[in-house]
């Protein structure tokens, strides 16, 4: 019996290392820790080939990329897509894109991805970082995808946790609500200026 490194075991199975890491985390395949490295028994890898179909399985990948702004940041979208494409180990069915906050539930790209998973045209959802999918509720998304037989692969899993992760979420919430409040105040200021100039009534109706 040989203990294989993560990359070698993933290559033997014909899957991305992220997929194998997720299998190990969920208990789908046994893992042995050697220091801080995961190792996989060659016997378990061979058994996994039989039960999972190994490299003969068809991977229909849906790549999800997102930026917060509605304009600009095209280079970030392209960088995310390039990284996901270069690490793809199956057929890339489609790239789903959004230019919106990760706190928004209604996103065109995400909705199309959900529909693709539901109809079976996407079996593997991939993103560079977990918060690209959503700032909160990623666990629920994973459960929804799993209900349709699809898995989620995050290229760069979060390494932070506890207080640091809570702080990041708090900052995200404050930033989002501050932006909305600023927008509301800006709209009120514009209405006041228009009212003072006689172009509209104080309640916002145009003369």
**DSSP secondary structure letters along the chain:** --EEEHHHHHHHHTS-HHHHHHHHHTTSS--EEETTEEEEEHHHHHHHHHHH-GGGSPPEEEEEEEES-SSS-HHHHHHHHHHHHHT--SEEEEEEEEES-TT-S--HHHHHHHHHHHTTS-SEEEESSHHHH-SS-HHHHHHHHHHTT-EEEESS-----THHHHHHHHHHHHHHHHHHHHHHHHHHHHHHHHHHTTSB-TTS-B-
Of the candidates 42, 68, 70, 186, the residue annotated as catalytic is 68
CATH number of the domain located at residue range(s) 58-154 in this protein: 3.40.50.1390
Residue 186 a catalytic site member: no
Average pLDDT over residues 14-35: 83
Average pLDDT over residues 182-206: 62
CATH number of the domain located at residue range(s) 3-55 in this protein: 1.10.1660
Residue 126: burial class (beta carbons within 10 Å; 0-12, 13-18, 19+): buried
Which pLDDT value is given to residue 159? 58
pLDDT tens column, 32-67: 999 889 999 988 888 777 555 544 456 889 999 999
Task: Give the start-to-end residue ranges of the domains of the chain.
Answer: 3-55, 58-154, 160-207
**Angle of helix 6-13 relative to helix 17-25, nearest 10 degrees?**
100
pLDDT tens column, 56-110: 456 889 999 999 876 667 788 999 999 999 999 888 999 999 998 887 888 999 9
Prediction pTM value: 0.57
Average pLDDT over residues 110-123: 91
Q: What is the mean pLDDT of the chain?
A: 80
Choose the most confident range, by mean pLDDT, from 7-11, 125-129, 149-153.
125-129
Q: Is the pLDDT of residue 165 over 60?
A: no
Residues 6+ apart with CB under 8 A from 93: 60, 61, 62, 116, 121, 122
């Amino acid at each position: 019996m040989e203990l294989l490194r993560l990359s070698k075991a993933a290559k033997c199975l014909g899957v991305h290392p992220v997929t194998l890491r997720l299998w190990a985390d969920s208990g789908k395949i046994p893992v042995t820790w050697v220091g801080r490295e995961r190792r996989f028994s060659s016997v378990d890898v061979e058994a996994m080939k039989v039960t999972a179909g190994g490299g003969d399985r068809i991977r229909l990948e849906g790549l999800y990329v997102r930026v917060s702004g509605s304009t600009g940041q095209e280079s970030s979208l392209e960088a995310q897509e390039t990284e996901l494409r270069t690490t793809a180990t199956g057929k890339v069915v489609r790239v789903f894109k959004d230019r919106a906050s990760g706190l928004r539930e209604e996103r065109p790209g995400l909705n199309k991805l959900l529909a693709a998973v539901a109809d079976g045209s996407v079996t593997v959802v991939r993103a560079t970082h977990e918060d690209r999918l959503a700032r909160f509720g990623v666990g629920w998304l994973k459960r929804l995808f799993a209900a349709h037989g699809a898995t989620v692969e995050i290229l760069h899993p979060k390494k932070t946790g506890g207080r640091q992760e809570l702080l990041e979420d708090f900052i995200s919430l404050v930033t989002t609500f501050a932006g909305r409040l600023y927008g509301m105040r800006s709209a009120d200021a514009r209405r006041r200026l228009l009212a003072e100039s006689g172009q509209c009534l104080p309640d916002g109706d145009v003369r």
